[in-house]
Amino acid sequence: MRVVMCAGPPTSGKTMVLLQAAARLRRRGHSLAYLKMDVQYAEEDVLFRERLGIPARKVLSGELCPDHCGVLIMAEAIAWAEAEGAGTFLVETAGLCLRCAPYIEGTLGVAVIEATSGMSLPRKIGAMLALADIAVVTKIDLVSQAEKEVFKANIVEAAPLPVIETDALRGIGIDRLVNRIEKAAPVGAPLRLKGLPPVATCTICAGKREIGWEHHFGVLRTLDSDLFYRGQ
Amino acid sequence: MRIDGISIIGGHGRDGATEPVGRLDLNMGDVVSLVGPTGSGKTALVNDIALFADANTPSGRRLLINGAAPDESFLDDPSLNPIALITQHTTFLSDLPVERFLLTHARVRRSPRPEAAVAATVDFANQLTGEPILTDGAMTELSGGQTRALLIADAVVIGNAPVVLLDEIENAGIDRARALDLLRGYEKIFVFVTHDPGIALLSDFRVAMQGGAMRAILRTTAEERLVARRLMAIDAMLLGLRDRIRGGGRVGAADIDLTEAAVSGGRA
């Protein structure tokens, strides 16, 4: 089974890109499953189930960081999709954190970013773009040719990836993504995260809310210092 | 890659029937208009061209470049795409100063002399619009007419796209007759989606659209060219009145009489 992991900032158009891709993949005879990971609310699973008749489910990470949540649940989710008989598993992540990336080795990592998000965005989103296999630019109908070209050049400069420009609302450019998905290799064990997440097991994550480094343990910094470790 | 022409191989209309026009050939230097009522499929046709349609859009049309199916490499390098599309929604979002932004674009396009390309672009845009563009002002501060003029100038000069698709520029407050004259100075294919009779009749030919299909290709006749020239005279009169009213002035019956006289004088 091949696994497509889609990341991107909120409202960048991940759902529409996957919905359009799913409809085309199904028309080409692929069996699919869909998973949406989000923090506190998601209804995209209903969309995929009802509009396309695809096995679909969602996971809400709640108190957990959604990308950490992905690490914890993705092995079981992949087993679920396989049990559903899917040949292609589409995973839409919450896409909130610009410091880490949810991609797993052997999956097709798709970073979705909107052309309207400012031309320097590719330089700001770090691992989400750098660790992806392909960048999908959405909403290209809304920006000038010049900005499209500069935006695309900025993506390639930040991460040398193939870039697919789309107007997902109208299904424009989606076929190129579908062609790429069809070429993706099946995922295999062992499943490992592609990139290292940032400092994760920290007292802030654990719910200690006091402001000021002197209240915390783990890898810390002051306003002017470099990172240092403070154990308990 | 050198582009000599593009062809659109007809698909089907909204009713599923084969398009009456089975093939539309556009050669370098052609200025063509797509005409038809709202919903007739004009925008869908320019989208098919912009997307390198390969029987994968709702119309089932295919685009050929130099008579053959285009290579996907066109889509991979931002500086190689031969087709620029300027839609009614297209705008600038960058708040960089005009000059800095255009320089960035010229560098992405690997222009050998970026500064000269920027100067030529601004000069071209200023000829299209009545309001000169300040190059140290932000892109987002440009007026609607300036924005559209700069979009066209950038696509033509810096982008140097061999094929430029323009969706309803008549709404953009730019001088249409002047725009067509200027654009004809460049050896390119210009496709206008238009409701404007002047633009349609100043084109080399027009494609009449109906029900999502290309219904007929009409080459502009010599008589239609004369009609176009008279239309432009009427247009100039209307623009004169418009400028007076916009400038806070008043108009009288004599103005409209003069206008009519000038128009019928054109007939004599």
Q: Mean pLDDT, chain B, as a whole number?
A: 87
Closest by Cβ to A176, choosing from B75, B92, B155: B75
Residues 6+ apart with CB under 8 A from B222: none
Give the model's pLDDT for residue A162: 93
Give the model's pLDDT for residue B128: 86
For the residues B4-27, what does the mean pLDDT come to?
95
d(CA B92, CA B96): 10
For the residues A138-149, what does the mean pLDDT come to?
85
Q: How far is CA A173 from CA A25, A117, B54, B196, in A?
A: 14, 19, 11, 30
Q: In angstroms, how far is CA A169 from the centroid of its own chain?
A: 19
Contact A176 B91 (CB under 8 A): no
d(CA A174, CA A181): 11
Give the model's pLDDT for residue B259: 65
Q: Is B47 in CB contact (< 8 Å) with chain A?
A: yes
For the residues B140-145, what does the mean pLDDT come to?
86
Which of B24-28, B31-35, B184-188 is predicted least confidently? Answer: B184-188
User: B161-218: per-residue pLDDT in tens?
Assistant: 899 999 887 766 677 778 888 888 888 999 999 999 989 999 999 999 999 999 999 9
Give the model's pLDDT for residue B213: 97
CATH T-level assignment (fold) for domain A2-183: Rossmann fold (3.40.50)
Q: Is B238 exposed, middle or buried (0-12, 13-18, 19+ CB in 10 A)?
A: exposed
Return the residue in A145, A152, A177 with the most chain B beta carbons within 10 A, the one to mutate for interface testing.
A145
Of the spans A72-86, B131-145, B170-184, which averages the highest pLDDT?
A72-86
Buried b (16+ CB within 10 A) or exposed e, B136-173: eeebeebeebbbbbbbbbbbbbbbbbbbbbbbbbbebb
Give the model's pLDDT for residue A206: 66
Q: Is B252 exposed, middle or buried (0-12, 13-18, 19+ CB in 10 A)?
A: exposed
Q: Mean pLDDT, chain A, as a whole number?
A: 88
Give the pairing type, strands A32-38 and A56-60: parallel
Q: Is B161 in CB contact (< 8 Å) with chain A?
A: yes
Residues 186-245 on B with a CB inside 8 Å of A are none
- Name the one residue in this structure whose structure tokens are 């239309």: B231
Minimal-distance CA residue of chain B relative to A134: B76
d(CA A186, CA A202): 35
Which of A14-23, A49-58, A67-76, B75-84 is predicted least confidently? Answer: B75-84
d(CA A59, CA A55): 14
Give the model's pLDDT for residue A213: 82
Position B268 confidence tier, pLDDT thresholds 50, 70, 90: very low
Of the candidates A29, A31, A26, A34, the residue with the CA atom closest to the CA atom of residue A6: A34
Contacts of B81 in chain A (CB under 8 A): 149
| B236 vs B231, more confident | B231
Closest by Cβ to B108, choosing from A116, A153, A172: A153
d(CA B156, CA A160): 28
Beta-carbon neighbour count of residue A34 at 10 Å?
28
Q: Is B78 in CB contact (< 8 Å) with chain A?
A: yes
The token pair at B222 is: 């010599």
Give the model's pLDDT for residue B108: 87
Residues 112-151 on B with a CB inside 8 Å of A are 151
For the residues B252-266, what does the mean pLDDT come to?
70
CATH class of B5-221: alpha beta
User: Using an 8 Å Cβ cutoff, are A107 and A88 in contact?
Assistant: no
Give the model's pLDDT for residue A123: 85
Which of A138-147, B63-72, B87-96, B221-230 is predicted least confidently? Answer: B87-96
For the residues A41-67, what does the mean pLDDT come to?
89
Q: Which DSSP symbol is given to B157?
A: I
Q: Is A19 exposed, middle or buried (0-12, 13-18, 19+ CB in 10 A)?
A: buried
pLDDT of B77 higher than 70:
no
For the residues B19-27, what does the mean pLDDT come to?
96
Q: What percent of chain B is modeled with pLDDT above 90?
A: 49
pLDDT of B75 higher than 70:
no
Give the model's pLDDT for residue B53: 87
Contact A146 B158 (CB under 8 A): yes
Q: How many CA atoms lie within 13 A of B200 on its CB side?
A: 17
Contacts of B89 in chain A (CB under 8 A): 141-142
Which of B132-141, B153-162, B172-181 is predicted least confidently? Answer: B172-181
| B33 vs A199, more confident | B33
Give the model's pLDDT for residue A230: 84
Smallest CA–CA distance, residue B47 to chain A, in Å, is: 9
Q: Is B93 in CB contact (< 8 Å) with chain A?
A: yes
Q: Is B45 in CB contact (< 8 Å) with chain A?
A: no
User: A93-142: per-residue pLDDT in tens?
Assistant: 987 777 778 899 999 999 999 998 888 888 888 889 999 999 999 998 88
Give the model's pLDDT for residue A32: 98
Domain ranges of chain B: 5-221, 222-268
